[in-house]
Structure 1
Amino acid sequence: MAELIQETNGKVLIVRLPARMDAAAVRELEEPFAQSIADHNGPVLVDVSKVDFAASLALRMLMMNLKDQQNRGQNLMLFGLQTQIAEVFRKTRFDTLFTIADDEASGIEQLSA
């Protein structure tokens, strides 16, 4: 069973994704992920540091929530991309769509400014 871990740091919601974001995990997490972001009404920092597999549905989930955040006038930032996930982001040009922080502290700092 896939699980989201959520916490707040000031006005920033931090959502931690599990290691395996395959189709089954995305189906399980997509609605709670979107709902927690919508309920927060502020900037969101997504921890992908444990993600070692991301199906295309996981990329879609992130993209949809990025667009929803932008439509609300809020930010959604990622941090902790492992090498293989960073390569997928580069090849799909998702790295040009998302702001990707070096680490959690810098993400919180940027979103709190």
Structure 2
Amino acid sequence: MMEITIADSQGVRFADVSGRIDSKTAPEVENILRSFTGEQEGNVIVNCSGLEYISSGGLRALLIIEKEMKGSGRHLILCGLRTDVEKIFRLTGFTSIFTIEKTVGDAIEHLR
């Protein structure tokens, strides 16, 4: 099971993701985050502190959104990765593709 909670503050869209992003839930994550890429401005911070697992399908969904955001000159920042999830990002080489911060506060500071 996966849940996403959305909030907006000071021109930044926050998405708190919890549970598992796997082959079943990856399309939903992609659709929700893709709705942000259609907007003209604003950066997105994805808080992954509640994310327990991400599959290759989940990584692909995030990669698509990252490319779309970057293409429009905006930022997608991931933060709060648990050790197991961070290991998946590291082993796949995705730590060099994404901006990853330790905390939401660090992600906000990165945008300043």
TM-score by length of 2: 0.91
> How far did residue 40 of structure 1 move?
6.3
Moved more, 82-91 or 33-42: 33-42
Aligned to 1:11: 11
Give, as a single letter, the amino acid of the residue that structure 1 aligns with 2:12: V
C-alpha distance in structure 1 between counterparts of 2:58 and 2:9, whole Å: 25
Which 4+ stretches in 1 moved above 6 angstroms?
A: none
Q: How many pairs does the alignment contain?
A: 112
The answer for the alignment partner of 1:44 in structure 2 is 44
What TM-score do you get using the length of structure 1 for normalisation?
0.90
* Mapped partners of 1:27, 1:64: distance in 2: 11
Counterpart residue identity of residue 108, structure 1: I
SS at match of 2:38: helix
Higher strand share: 2
Give me the identity figure in percent: 29
Higher helix share: 1
In the alignment, structure 2 segments of 5+ residues that lack a partner are none
Aligned counterparts of 2:80 and 2:42: Cα–Cα separation in 1: 21
**Distance of 1:29 and 1:74 partners within structure 2:** 19
Determine the C-alpha separation between the residues in 2 that align with 1:96 and 1:33. 20
CA RMSD of aligned residues (A): 1.5
Which runs of structure 2 are paired with 1:59-78 in the superposition (5 Å)?
59-78=59-78
Q: Which amino acid counterpart does residue 63 of structure 2 have in structure 1?
A: M
In the alignment, which residue of structure 2 is the partner of 1:81?
A: 81
Distance 1:19-1:42 versus aligned 2 partners, 3 A rule: same
Unmatched 5+ stretches in structure 1: none
